[in-house]
Chains A and B, each alone.
Chain A
Amino acid sequence: MASIADTAAAPSWYARIPLAWWITGLVLLFMPAFAGEFVLYQIFGWTFILGMIALSLMFLAGYGGMVSLAQMSIAGFAGYMVAIFGDSAITDISQGWPWYVTIPLALVLAVLFATVTGWLAVRTEGIYTIMITLAIASAFFYFTRQNYTIFNGFSGFNGVLPPQLFGVDWRHPVAFYYLTLFWAAFWFLATLYVSRAPMGLALQGVRDNPRRMAALGYNVTAHRVAAYAVAALPAGIGGILLTWQSAQISPGTAGIGPAIDILVIAVIGGLRHPAGAFIGAFVYVILKTFALDILVVLGFDGERFNLLVGLGFLAVVFWSSDGILGLWSRWRTSWGRDRLRFPGRRTP
Chain B
Amino acid sequence: MRTPGSFSDRLTATGTANALELRGLSRSFGALVALEDVSLTLRPGERRAVLGSNGAGKTTLFNCITGDHAPSAGSIRFFGEDITGFPTHERIRRGLRRTYQISLLFTDLSVRDNVYIACRGVLRSRFSALRPGRNETVMASTEALVRLVHLETVIDTRVSELAYGEQRQLELAMALAGAPRLLLLDEPAAGLSPTERGELVEILAALPDHLGFVIIEHDMDVALRVAGFVTMLHNGRIFREGTPSEIENDPDVQALYLGGPDG
Contact = CB atoms under 8 A, between A and B. Distances in A.
Interface string B2-16: 000000000000000
B184 to A, nearest CB: 10
Given A5-B156, A8-B139, A202-B120, A218 B126 contact: yes
Interface residues of B, number: 40
A3 B113 contact: yes
B104 A197 contact: no
Contacts of B100: 212, 215
Contacts of B139: 4, 8
Contact of A209 (B106, B120, B126, B156): B106
Contact of B117 (A193, A211, A216, A344): A216
Interface in A1-38: 1, 3-5, 7-8
Nearest to B143: A8
Contacts of B105: 209, 212
Contacts of B218: none
Q: Please classify the interface of chain A as helix (H, G, I), strand (E, B), loop, or mixed, using the class held by over half of its residues.
A: helix
Interface string A199-216: 111101100110111111
A8 B134 contact: yes
B89 A197 contact: no
Nearest to B128: A198
Interface in B99-151: 100, 104-110, 112-113, 116-118, 120-122, 125-134, 139
Contacts, number: 116
B124 to A, nearest CB: 11
A223 B127 contact: yes
Contacts of B156: 3, 5, 348
Closest 6 CB pairs of A and B: A216-B121, A217-B121, A217-B92, A212-B104, A214-B88, A217-B122
Given A1-B109, A5-B112, A197-B132, 19 more contacts: A3-B156, A8-B132, A197-B128, A198-B126, A198-B128, A198-B129, A199-B128, A201-B116, A202-B127, A204-B109, A205-B117, A209-B104, A214-B88, A214-B89, A215-B66, A215-B104, A216-B118, A216-B174, A348-B156
Interface of B: 66-68, 87-89, 92-93, 98, 100, 104-110, 112-113, 116-118, 120-122, 125-134, 139, 156, 174, 177-178
Interface of A: 1, 3-5, 7-8, 193-194, 196-202, 204-205, 208-209, 211-220, 223, 226, 230, 344-345, 348
